[in-house]
Amino acid sequence: MIRHFHIAFLVIAAFGVPAAPLLAQQSGAPGRQLPAGSPFGGGVPQGTATAQTLQLTVADVIHRALEYNLGVLLSEQEVSHAGGTRWVTLSQLLPNVSAYVTESRQRINLEAFGFSPANFGLSNVVGPFNTFDARVTLSQSLLDRRATNETRAENHNVEAARHSYRSARDLVVLAAANAYLQMLAADARTQSARAQLQTSDTLFQQAQDLKQNGIVAGIDVLRAEVRLNGDRQRVTVFQNDFEKARLQLARLIGLPVGQPFAVSAQLPNVPVPDLSIEQALAQAYRDRPDYLAAQERVRAAEASRAAAFSEQLPSVQVNANYGALGLTAADSVATYTLAGSVIIPIFQGGRSQGRLAEADADLRQRRAEAEDMRAQIYYDVRSAFFDLQATGEQLQVATRSRDLASQELTQARDRFAAGVANNLEVVQAQQSVTTADEQYIDALLGYDVAKAVLARSLGDAEAAVQRILGPGTP
């Protein structure tokens, strides 16, 4: 089961954490989880639960996560929201055409409008009379720098949302694979604990037999029984972790509530990327979607500042209408109006200056965020290379330690069976095997995490999955 951890681009790098904290976790503890309340930890259940056990591969898990994970769905809606905002802003530059038809009957008092027909012996009241008006109106902005720059800003915001959506897909790919690996890890630890429990039970029976034959003392039986009870407790703890890991995976990928499922242990082995640090940095600056989104937000802030400044500039509009006007529809005649206007802002109570100050502050903030992201990419890539080297060496040492611990246990059991030594050596050797096995799992996982952190730093997670598992997998 330990070989299950041989996968690189599909692990805990989704959270951008280095391998070292993971290696410092207590043995048997669940893997690193998404932050509490993160939408990427949830999913929208799809389908109806059945009694049949659903068989899932890592490709199936990733595909379902990309379809039904809550974080991806919310990010997708952010793209749609940004697109809608862009259309609202763009409407200020596009023609606005409307039509109406009205027919009225009215009786009016001319004196209310400043006329005094009574001075000429005429009545102040006119009517009743009918009015029919069918008309098409057009309003078009010919020159509006504010609206033009606001539209540019929203175009950049749409691009930023698209990059963020791509980043969210990368994150959910890694989060889904991480949950998949956590389940396999919990299963591997459970199987390892059960194997150690079986060994402890065998040694306990052996100690009892040797005591009955007068070869060993009663203390050896007690030690064996203490070890046996400790291993039973470990099996319970690891089995509980395994069941909770199953629940987390099912929720993350949107399985129907209560759907039984099993996962495949067949995972691809991913080689170490053949890249220099300089090449890795160049690729990250070019492809990281979060960095590209930060750059688009800077451009959007620049356009928003230009829009705030343009509020002080004149704008040109044209308004027109054409229709039929008369007492009735039958006797109406064609009429039209065509008017152009130049709007010159003179004093707006300081609103333009206030918006300009807000835009300046927002621009400085976006530029600082982009520069911070660029620096973060540098540290991410360099740290990933350091971790890759360190965890590779740790894996070699852990592999050798596991082999030595296994040999130590074999020799201790032989010595105990021959009556040369008591089972204190056996218990100590068992503990050495347990520790070496868990250190090996941690080292192997840490090595894959280091490769995954590098892949995450390069901004290539979803594409890497397609290369590893086959085209069109997600």
Domains and CATH numbers, the chain: 2-93+145-311+353-469 (1.20.1600.10), 98-143+316-347 (2.20.200)
Provide the 10 A C-beta neighbour count for residue 434: 20
| C-alpha separations of 74 from 46, 107, 125 in Å | 16, 58, 64
Residue 303 CA to residue 299 CA, distance in Å, equals 6
293/167 Cα distance (integer angstroms): 9
Q: Is 217 left (phi over 0), alpha (psi -120 to 50) or beta?
A: beta
Q: Please report the pLDDT score of residue 88 as a whole number.
A: 95
| Residues 447 and 10: beta-carbon distance below 8 Å | no
pLDDT of residue 342: 94
Contact 254, 68 (CB under 8 A): yes
What confidence score (pLDDT) does residue 440 get? 78
Q: Are 42 and 252 in contact (CB under 8 A)?
A: yes
Q: Report whether 145 contacts 207 (CB < 8 A).
A: no
10-residue averages of pLDDT along the chain (474 residues): 40 35 34 68 89 89 91 94 95 94 91 78 84 95 93 96 92 82 81 84 83 80 88 92 92 92 76 80 91 96 94 93 92 94 88 91 96 92 87 88 87 78 74 80 72 74 67 48
